[in-house]
Amino acid sequence: MYLLQGTLFSFEEWLKIESKDRLPLFFETLDLRPYVKEMKKSSPQGARGYSREAILRAFLAAPMEEISTLTRLHQ
């Protein structure tokens, strides 16, 4: 069974949107709560205080902002 995923924006619409407005528009269209809920911490060790939703948003935004390394993404 195949599902055809609808588009959020056409390519032409996306190009018309100013770059500073793209990420907020992109993220208000997506509901990330089901995915964040599935991102359970598997280990009690590691850094604390980082929102899983914020981390997910950063990984989704990286290609749109042409961020290619984790170091640049962290900055």
- Structure confidence by residue, pLDDT tens digits, 14-65: 778 787 888 888 888 788 888 888 876 666 665 667 778 888 888 888 988 8
Domain-located, residue 11: no
**What is the number of domains present in the chain?**
1
- Give the whole-number percent of the chain exceeding pLDDT 90: 0
pLDDT computed for residue 3 by the predictor: 63
pLDDT computed for residue 37 by the predictor: 80
pLDDT computed for residue 1 by the predictor: 61
Domain of residue 30 covers 16-38+50-72
Q: What sign does the CA torsion over 23, 19, 5, 58 have?
A: negative
Q: Please, which pLDDT band fits residue 13 given cuts at 50, 70 and 90?
A: confident
Question: Cα–Cα distances in Å, from 55 out to 3, 23, 31, 64, 69?
Answer: 28, 14, 15, 15, 14
Domain-located, residue 6: no
